Amino acid sequence: MTDAIETVFETVATTAADVRGALAERRAYADAENPSGEQQLAADVYADELLEERLLALDGVGSYASEERDGVVEADDAGQYHVACDPLDGSSNLQSNNGMGTIVGVFDESLPAPGSALVASGFVLYGPITTMLVARGGTVTEYLLDGEERSVLTEDVAIPDDPVVYGFGGRIPDWTDQFRSYVDDIEADRLKLRYGGAMVADVNQVITYGGIFGYPMLEERPEGKLRLQFEGHPIAHVIETAGGASSNGTQSLLDCDPDGLHERTPVFVGSESLVDRLESALS
Ligand code: FBP
């Protein structure tokens, strides 16, 4: 892969150390909302500012966008790649000291970009240890991040075929009848419920054990909660590169092209068998 992409993930890895180190002092809510109308934590703003400054300074990066800011920020100099971030995914978990993450998508088209323009993707998981998964060139690599150090933990990460865990967001009474019957169906397969309120942490369980994660369409909110460009696209790219599948309920998230930068979408990612059953159940 080109050095420019390697440099993006080197920068994300070193920035993750600074983000993790800053969390304890930034648990309070800032007096601002993000473009999706959600309250911002001081940690959201801090992570976003660090990533914007450091990624835009890279030669290969032409622009930066994130869930935390309205528009796309252009670099001073043109660059081949355009980076979309969720700087602190699951930040509502900070007050309860549960897992959170940073999600990164690298596109070779200007933002908002179609899923087909993703050339690399990845996420950092702030768990008991800090890890980073990177999908590029048809393979997923898991790294251990320890301060400024980055070492390979697992090469060619592959999602297990036999599903074990499942987790879906939203309130059950708000689910559609079709989706609820799908969940009843897979619960009969004796899967274990794992839902922790941070997509990156829940998705990492799915990649590790096999299963499915989703934030579904809701009766009153058919588009669901998660953002296509900042969450759906990069996580789908990681999962599909690891041999899994993704869907918005009818097609791969990588075949979905956002009209707007902050467009929301139902998100389902995981073992191919469970995603296929979902699309059948919703058809
Ligand atoms: P952000 O924190 O980046 O806005 O991410 C949204 C998110 O926290 C996901 O990480 C998670 O899957 C979902 O929302 C949890 O939603 P809810 O609190 O409704 O269960």
The CATH number linked to 35 is: 3.30.540.10
What is the CATH number for 178? 3.40.190.80
Ligand 1 mean position to 206 CA, how many Å? 16
Residues 42 and 145 in one domain: yes
Domain boundary among 154, 188, 210: 154
Which residue's CA is the nearest one to ligand 1's atom 16?
A: 197
- With a Cβ cut-off of 6 Å, ligand 1 is lined by 38, 67, 86, 89-92, 169, 197-199, 215, 225
Whether residues 97 and 230 fall in one domain: no
What integer pLDDT is reported at residue 252 of this predicted model? Answer: 98
Do the domain assignments include residue 137?
A: yes
In the reported structure, the alpha carbon of residue 91 is separated from the centroid of ligand 1 by a whole-number distance in angstroms of 8
Same domain, 203 and 236: yes
Is residue 64 in a domain? yes
State the closest ligand 1 atom to the C-alpha of 213, by its place in the atom list counted from 1.
12
| Whether residues 25 and 63 fall in one domain | yes
- Identify whether 68 is part of a domain: yes
Residue 176: inside a domain, yes or no? yes
Residues 180 and 113 reside in one and the same domain: no
What is the best residue among 29, 38, 92 to mutate for testing ligand 1's pocket, by most ligand atoms within 8 Å of CB? Answer: 92
Instruction: Please list the residues that pair with 41 across neighbouring strands.
Output: 29
- Say if residue 139 is in the same domain as residue 263: no
> Is 96 inside a domain boundary?
yes
CB atoms within 10 A of CB 178: 14
| pLDDT at res. 10 | 97
**Dihedral angle at the C-alpha atoms of 226, 259, 30, 19, nearest 10 degrees?**
70
Are 89 and 170 members of one domain?
Answer: no
What the block records as the tokens of 156 is 């060619």
Interval between CA 65 and ligand 1 midpoint (Å): 18
Are 81 and 130 part of one and the same domain? Answer: yes
At position 271, the amino acid (one-letter code) is: S
Same domain for 264 and 215:
yes
With the CA atoms of 56, 7, 51 and 138 taken in that order, what torsion angle do they form, in degrees rounded to the nearest 10? 110
> How many Å lie between the centroid of ligand 1 and the Cα of residue 80?
30
- pLDDT by residue (tens digit) across 205-251? 999 999 999 999 999 999 999 999 999 999 999 999 999 999 999 99
Q: Are 123 and 102 in contact (CB under 8 A)?
A: yes
250-256 contact pairs (CB < 8 A, 24+): 250/279, 250/282, 250/283, 251/279, 252/115, 253/115, 253/228, 254/115, 254/116, 254/118, 255/115, 255/116, 256/114, 256/115, 256/228, 256/232
Q: What percent of the chain has pLDDT over 90?
A: 92
User: The domain containing residue 83 runs over which residues?
Assistant: 2-154
Same domain, 63 and 136: yes
What is the model's pLDDT at position 80? 96
Residue found under tokens 């596109």: 107
Residue 2: predicted pLDDT: 52
104 in any annotated domain: yes
- In this predicted structure, what is the pLDDT of residue 37? 84
Tell me, rounded to whole angstroms, the distance of Cα 128 from its chain centroid. 19
Dist. CA 169 → ligand 1 center (Å):
8
- The count of domains in the chain is 2
Q: Are residues 216 and 80 in the same domain?
A: no
Residue to probe by mutation, ligand 1, list 225, 228, 269, most atoms within 8 Å of CB: 225
Nearest residue (by CA) to ligand 1, atom 15, is 197
Return per-residue pLDDT of the chain as tens, 283 residues.
459 999 999 999 999 999 999 999 988 888 888 888 888 888 999 999 999 999 999 999 999 999 999 999 999 999 999 999 999 999 999 999 999 999 999 999 999 999 999 999 999 999 999 999 999 999 999 999 998 899 999 999 999 989 999 999 999 999 999 999 999 999 999 999 999 999 999 999 999 999 999 999 999 999 999 999 999 999 999 999 999 999 999 999 999 999 999 999 999 999 999 999 999 999 9
Residue nearest to atom 12 of ligand 1 (CA): 199
Q: What is the pLDDT of residue 32?
A: 83
> Which ligand 1 atom is the nearest neighbour of the CA of 93?
8
Predicted pLDDT of residue 39:
83
Q: What is the pTM of this model?
A: 0.96
Ligand 1 pocket test: pick from 39, 89, 124, 213 the residue with the most ligand atoms within 8 Å of its Cβ: 89
72 shares its domain with 170: no
Using an 8 Å Cβ cutoff, are 5 and 60 in contact?
A: yes
**pLDDT score of 227:** 98
